[in-house]
A and B are shown apart, each in its own frame.
Chain A
C-alpha cells in the first residue's frame, strides 16, 4: 500500500517535471508553429492584399487554388507550373547527379592512403560556405567576362561560349543554377557515404574472397546492404532541399531570365512580398508545395520501410 502511494506520488511529480521541462518548447510551438500553420490554412481560402489589414480579408473559397492550379489566372498558372517543373528538374538532378558523384568520391577517398584528411576538408568547403556570399561568386563566374567563358575560350571551345553570361541566356540559365545547387549538396551526401563505407568491416571482404566471391558478389552482398539505407536517407534529404530551393535562385537570377529558373519558393515570395500580390494566394501555393513535400517524404519513407 505504502509503496504504491509512494509510486503514485512519484509518478505525479515525474509528470509534473516533464510538463515544466516541455513547457517552453510547447509554448513556442503553439504560437510560432501550430498557430501559424492553422492561420496559414485559413488564409489560403481568403483574399488579402499586401499591406492591407487582416480584417479586410475576403473569403475566396477555392479561388486561390483555382487561380494557379487550373488557370483561372492564366499568367500566374503558367508561372506556377513552370516553377513547379523547374523544382522537379532540380529534384531529378539531385538524384541523378548528387548521389552518384558523392558515391564515387567517397569510394575514391576510401581507396587512398595519403591525404584523406586534406581532401575531405576541401570537399566539405562548399557545404560550409554555401550561402549568399558564395552564390555571388558563382554569379561572377557565370558573367559574360567570367571564368567559365574564359576557360572555354582558352581551350578553344568558342562555340560553347554564353555571350550574355551563363545565367543570362535562356537555355543555359537553369543548368547553371543546378550546377551550383549540386555543388553545394554533394559534400553532405559524400560524408554520409564515406562514414558508411568506413563502418564496413574489411574482414568481411577478406573472408568472402576466401569463399571465392567475385567483385560483384561482394558489392551486392556486403557493400550495398550498408549503402542502401544511406542512399534512401540521402535521397529524402536532397529531395526536400530541392523542393525548398530559394537562396541560390534569389541571389543569382531572381527566377530569370524570362522565368527559366523560377522555382515555387521564389514565386511565392514575389507574390507575397513584392508588387501587388495576394497573400492568400501566395499561401495557397505554399500549401500545394507542402502537399508535394509530404507526398515525396511518404514515398521515400515507404521505400525505407521495405528494406527492413
Chain B
C-alpha cells in the first residue's frame, strides 16, 4: 500500500533502526570471536581495538575438533533432507494423482500430526528408540526429523503436483509409462521449486535443532553443532571468544546458503503460506 504522506526520511530512519537491530547480534558474534578473552566485555568497540585474534578459531578447532561436529551436522541434515524429499514427493504424488481406498483417511492422518507438539512425544520417542536400539545414532535422529516434517511436506507436494496441468499426466499415461516413471522422470523434475522450498525450510530446522539431539544423542563423537556449542560452554567460566568462534562456524553456512538462495527462500515462504 503506497502512502502518500509518509516522509521518506522517517521511513528510512525506521528501516535503518530495525536493520541495525537485526544485524547487531551477528556483528557482536564476529567481533567477540576476534577479541581477546578479557576484551569481550571491557571494550566499548564492537571489534577488537588492536589485535585481531584469528587464533581463537584455531583454538576452537583444536580444542574440540570442531570439524567433526560440523560433519555430523552435515550428515544429519543431508540425510534428513533426502528422506523428506524422497518419501514425501512419493506420498504427495499418490495423494495428488492416484485413486485408492483410504486416501482421505491417510491424508488426514498425516495432517493431524501437525497438532502434536514435538515435546509431547519426546519421552515416548526416547523410550521407543531405546527399545529399537536407535538411541545414540544419527539414524535415530534423522527418522523423527523426517517424520516431523511429514504434514507440511506432504501437503505442499500434493498441492504442487495438483497444480501441474492434468493433461501431461493423461498423455504420458496413454503412452504406457508406469506411474513410477511418470513420478521420477516428469513430476519430480517439474517440482524443483517446491523441492527448493521444502529443502530450505527443513534445512534450517534440522541444522539448528537442539532438543532432539540433546535427548537422543549421548556420545560426544556424534554431537551436532548446537550440542557442540553448548559443550563449549561447559567449564568454570564462559570463554566468550571461543564460544563465539564456534557459534560463527555453526551459523556461517546457514547465512551463506541464505544469501545464495534468498530468492527461492522468500518465494517459497510466501507462496506456501499465502496461496494455501
Hey, which bits of chain A sit against chain B, CB under 8 A? 11, 14-15, 17-19, 21-22, 24-26, 28-29, 31-37, 39-40, 43, 54, 101, 104-105, 107-112, 119-134, 136-138, 140-141, 143, 145-147, 150, 183, 187-188, 191-192, 194-197, 199-200, 202, 205, 218-219, 222-223, 230, 233, 237, 240, 243-244, 246-247, 250-251, 264-265, 268-269, 272-273, 279, 282-283, 286-287, 289-290, 293-294, 297
Question: Distance (Å) between the CB of A40 and the closest chain B CB?
Answer: 4
Chain A residue, CB-CB nearest to B271 = A195
Question: Are B251 and A131 in touch, CB under 8 angstroms?
Answer: yes
Alpha-carbon distance A23/B177, docked complex (angstroms): 21
Q: Is the CB of B259 within 8 A of A136?
A: no
CA distance A199 to B275 in the complex (A): 11
Q: Considering only CB atoms, which chain B residue lies closest to A39 in the complex?
A: B124
Which A residues touch B229, using CB under 8 A?
A: 132-133, 136
Contact residues in B for A143 (Cβ distance below 8 Å): 41
Residues from chain A with Cβ under 8 Å of B211 in the complex: 246-247, 250, 265, 269
Contacts of B143 in A (CB 8 A): 28, 32
- Identify which of B48-56, B63-71, B189-197, B240-248 touches chain A: B240-248
- Given known contacts A36-B121, A36-B125, A131-B208, is B22 in contact with A122 (CB within 8 Å)? yes
Distance to closest chain B CB from A233 (angstroms): 5
State which size class the interface on B falls in.
Answer: 35 or more
Give the residues in chain A near B106, CB-CB below 8 Å.
22, 26
B246: which A residues are within 8 A, CB to CB?
Answer: 133
Residues B123 and A272 in contact, CB atoms below 8 Å apart: yes
Q: Main SS of chain A's interface residues?
A: helix
Kindly list chain B residues whose C-beta atoms are within 8 Å of the C-beta of A24: 86-87, 90
> Do A286 and B22 contact each other (CB < 8 Å), given the known contacts A29-B109, A108-B11?
no
Residue ranges of B at the interface with A (Cβ–Cβ < 8 Å)? 1-3, 6, 8, 11-12, 14-15, 18-19, 21-26, 28-29, 32, 40-42, 44, 86-88, 90-91, 93-94, 98-101, 103, 106, 109-110, 113, 115-128, 131-132, 143-144, 146-147, 150, 154, 178-180, 183, 204, 207-208, 210-211, 215, 225-226, 229-230, 233, 240, 243-244, 246-248, 250-251, 254-255, 257-259, 262, 265-266, 269-271, 273-274
List, sorted by A's number, 23 A–B pairs whose CB atoms are closer than 8 Å.
Answer: A14-B179, A17-B179, A18-B103, A21-B94, A21-B180, A22-B106, A36-B124, A112-B15, A120-B266, A122-B19, A124-B258, A126-B22, A132-B229, A133-B250, A137-B32, A137-B244, A183-B21, A194-B270, A199-B274, A218-B1, A272-B126, A279-B127, A283-B120
B251–A283 touching, CB < 8 Å: no
Closest 6 CB pairs of A and B: A195-B270, A133-B247, A286-B120, A15-B100, A145-B41, A131-B208
| Separation of A151 and B72 alpha carbons in the complex (Å) | 39
**CA A243 to CA B154, docked complex, whole Å:** 24
Contact (Cβ within 8 A) A128 B124: no
Using Cβ atoms and an 8 Å threshold, which residues of chain A touch B257? Answer: 128
Given A32-B143, A196-B274, A247-B211, answer yes or no on A290-B120 (Cβ-Cβ < 8 Å). yes
A-B contact count, CB below 8 Å?
284
**B15 near A286: Cβ-Cβ < 8 Å:** no
In the complex, which residues of chain A have a beta carbon less than 8 angstroms from the beta carbon of B265? 124
Q: Which chain A residues border B25 with CB–CB below 8 Å?
A: 126, 129, 134, 137-138, 141
Q: Are B110 and A29 in contact (CB under 8 A)?
A: yes
**Chain A residue at minimal CB-CB distance from B28:** A137
Q: Known: A25-B91, A31-B128, A40-B124. Is A133-B251 also a contact (CB below 8 A)?
A: yes
A32 engages B119 (CB within 8 Å): no
Complex Cα distance A244/B119, Å? 8
Among A18, A28, A39, chain B packs the most CB atoms within 10 A around the CB of A18
B29 smallest CB distance to A (angstroms) = 5
B92 to chain A, nearest CB (A): 9
In addition to A14-B99, A125-B22, A265-B119, 19 A-B residue pairs with Cβ atoms within 8 Å of each other are A15-B98, A15-B100, A18-B94, A19-B100, A21-B91, A37-B121, A112-B15, A119-B15, A124-B266, A125-B255, A129-B255, A132-B229, A133-B229, A133-B246, A137-B28, A188-B269, A192-B274, A202-B2, A269-B119
Contacts of A120 in B (CB 8 A): 266
A110, A127, A196, A247: the one contacting B210 at CB < 8 Å is A247
Residues of the A chain whose Cβ atoms lie less than 8 Å from the Cβ of B248: 133
Cα A126 to Cα B27 with chains together (Å): 12
Check B91 against A125 for contact (C-beta < 8 Å).
no
Q: By the criterion CB–CB under 8 Å, are B11 and A33 in contact?
A: no
Q: Across the interface, which residues of A come within 8 angstroms of B21, CB to CB?
A: 183
In the assembled complex, the Cα of A239 lies from the Cα of B112 at a distance in Å of: 18
Residues of A within 8 A of B127 (CB): 39, 43, 54, 279
In the complex, chain B residues whose CB is within 8 Å of the CB of A19: 100
Could you tell me the distance in whole angstroms from the C-beta of A18 to the nearest C-beta in chain B? 4
Residue of B with least CB distance to A243? B117
Q: How far is the CA of A24 from the CA of B2 in the complex (A)?
A: 50
**Bound form: Cα–Cα A292–B3 in Å:** 40
How long is the Cα–Cα vector from A289 to B121 in the complex, in angstroms?
11
Check A25/B115 contact, CB under 8 A, given A18-B94, A286-B122.
no
Do A191 and B269 touch (CB < 8 A)? Answer: yes
Known: A108-B11, A128-B204. A17 touches B270 (CB 8 A): no
Verify B254–A289 contact, CB threshold 8 A: no
